[in-house]
Structure 1
Amino acid sequence: MQKYQDMFLKRYKTILDEWKQKEEISTGELYRFLHSIKGTASSIELDNLSEISHQLIERLDKEDDSIWRQEEWGNFVQPLALLLNNHAEVVKTAEQNQLELNTIANQQIILLLDDDIELLNSLKQHLENDYIVLVATQLNRAVQLFYDYHPDLVIIDYDIGSENSSELLDKIYNSVGGSFTPVLFISEEDKLQNRKEAYDLGALDFLVRPIDLDVFQSLIANRLRLKQSLNNQIMIDPLTNAYNRSFLKANWERLLKKFQETSNPYSMALIDLDNFKLVNDQYGHSVGDQVLSQFAELVLNEKRQEDNLIRYGGEEFILIMPNVTQAQAKSLVEGILNTFMQLENKVNDQNIYLSFTAGVAQIEQDSQTMDQLIERSDQALYYGKENGKKCVQVYHNQMNSVNQMKKQVNRLRIAIVDDDRVIQEMLSDQLSRLNFANYSLEVKSFREGETFLESDWYRQPGKYVILLDGIMPRMDGLEVLAKLRKTENESDMGIVMLTGRQKDKDIVRALELGADDYITKPFSIQELEARIKRIVHRLF
């Protein structure tokens, strides 16, 4: 029986995929599709598919041979599509989901800037099996995504305007900290002047449409290997003049050998600037870069000559301190903290004062790998963040269990905002089975955008994935999206638009308003889960 079920499911999923390539279908085609499923499904023990097909047929007038646009039939058959794609799905364990999250965490990030939604969608679909793909249709959104996620490669539509392209490239080269970020231009026209301008702007490649997607994929892989090779050779972070991760990796074995030979104490501090995102949000990323530069300059002046300062990522730094115990290291870092809290950061004719939190750990016989020492420093840092910030905490064994208990209560909330009751119930049932090792999960459905906004459910502590239908009564998905992006906790939200068309001005508008992703109906639960996991990785 399983053999016939698999053949059946494959056949009808193929039909839906073929329909997605069409602009429209007729009522007759839709009726025959549903009637065929209804008649066959029950005979091979797929009764739920037969029942849903019957319900959809009841809503059709088979005598009316009107035309259905993609967004119309996509919305109509969405409940059936979820069943077709999910009938044989096995519920994954927390460990399996966590493994997938770890895989996503290791994926490289590509940023696409293009206002041609058809090309944007084609490139996104082709690339996102191997990479995390961020998309933007406007410059300001592209810049925001670049600062927030530090993509490994950027693809820009040349025809979006050289002025916009130039501004984005300026932002890239001023913020990547000296690391090499490949930039590819795509253009409709193969003009020598356009090529020259693109290369003058700093692009690595200039491609002309139409693009062979297989060759394009190989080119991207090539450029990312080049990026990795070049960045491995760079040891200094030009924004801050601190060392970078490459230095830490390249010198760790030498530092460890010295510890093993002398048995002298050896300590590490993991430092994180407090409320740094608020600085970026309130004053802009250029001011944030200035703050990072001033902080690093202060530490480089205050530290001992034998200490090494490393920019670990974003606003996180590591200070390596040889020949000191963690108690002595705590005292040294507290001195730096007190000096930093008195530092005047001039912004728009006013002074702002900042602080940091640090976690300190000492290398021991049972923590001689770099990752182990960083993990212990991070445990102490987390403890400090949870207990008031602007402090220096020393690692002790009890922290591990305390922090793990706190991390277990990390709340992930998924909202389904869709006026289709069947889709609500099916998505709620399937997504409630998602299982993540470090998060407790809550899934809730809302039939209208207004009901969702009035609930204040999304203002509770925690992280949110919000699945937002584009078309709803009273208040549509775009209106809800615009309001959500103005809330205080909008940075804790990942928003996925559920849309009826791949070629839709509403997708462009959604991306402009700050949607993190979109998915075209009819979609499978597997496609949706993959997008949710990518967003969970970005949120946490």
Structure 2
Amino acid sequence: METSVLLIEPDPTAAQEITEILQEGGFLPVTRQSFEAVHDSVTDEMPPKAILIGTDNVKESVLSFISELKADPSTQWIPLFILSRTNEDSFRIDCFNAGADEFFLKPIHPKELLARLRGWVNRIGNFEESAFRDPLTKAYNRRYFDLHILLELQKAQKNDYPISVAFIDADKFKSINDNYGHHVGDLVLQGLSKILREKTRTSDLVARYGGEEFVILFPKASGDQAANRIQTILEYVRENPVAEYEGQLRHITFSCGVAEWKPGLSVTEWVKLADDGVYEAKGQGRNRVILSNLQTSEHDHLEEKKKVLIVAGKGMSKSIVCEIDSLAYEIQEWQQGIEEVPPEICIYVIPPTKGFDAGEYEQFRMKHLPKECKTLLLTENHKALDSFQIMATGIDGYLRGPYLPGDIELGLRRLTNLN
């Protein structure tokens, strides 16, 4: 499969030249002439493995665009190449400070560009394999699922399409380990994972949630559609062995709970709804799929949204809102002179170029935050604060960047004891 690369180049002649270089190097270039309409190209079902930006634009626009890409959880890990005719140290340094990974002067040397591009793509691929794949089953791991479900839900909300999640638990798996040994149990998990990955769409995400549990995320699928797909897989598993050991075929079944996300549900509630379906399926005798429906009356019992105040610059504030907007929080962005509802949590962001001013924070806290409000401090400046300052100011938690998608949510959960 060809590796997709996004090229943003306003000069048609340069775009054609670079496109030919990429094609000859085995890449699949997708070309855009401007920053507009680029977002959909980097957040669709098959995002690019790298982004190349021609800088025949206003420098400030280029730097702003780089910062936006690196602040967005869905694009921050994509390698970013700058292709420029501007041979100025200050501009090159500004690009790197904004988040660029490589800087090339035009005209481009084809072999060097391709070598560096392959190197970045391979390194990121190896990182993803080791960081986000379960080594036994080759399905995605729990950490990747926790990060990805947030991004997929944000896209579903933005584009107004359904999204569902399914929990799968292998039936009587403990007896397989007890009677035949853990080696056979491992083969069964590997076989089940292979079937789940082969029988789902490329846009679906299959992850090992823990033990004998798997979870599947179904973008653009209603609860009924996801349940029907799982039912088809279950019927296949009933009739076909998932593993073979010493000439013996191993058959299993599984119990599954499916839930479609509905407005008002936090991610935690949504996932729990699917997990509850597994228990219901097992209670009915296992070997079945249960579609969990949130009854209208249950909306009254959904957890009350906690009020979160974000104190940050415009770009960083937008990134934080993007990450936590689908969770059980009522979000406010702080603006001078606007009276806000007293928050329960404050996300206080230190700019990358600025150190932590304890006096400034204390003054802000006394003026704008209620006494019981908890504060999560964020900074990408590793020299911005130390543990003594944190203890002295009474800050409840802090994160140092760069942030993975989901890190801020986990920080909030620690403050609110939701884990």
Determine if the TM-score, normalized by the shorter chain, exceeds 0.5.
Answer: no
Q: Greater Rg, structure 1 or structure 2? A: 1
TM-score (norm 2): 0.39
User: As a proportion of its length, which structure holds more helix?
Assistant: 1
The alignment's TM-score, normalised by the length of structure 1, stands at: 0.30
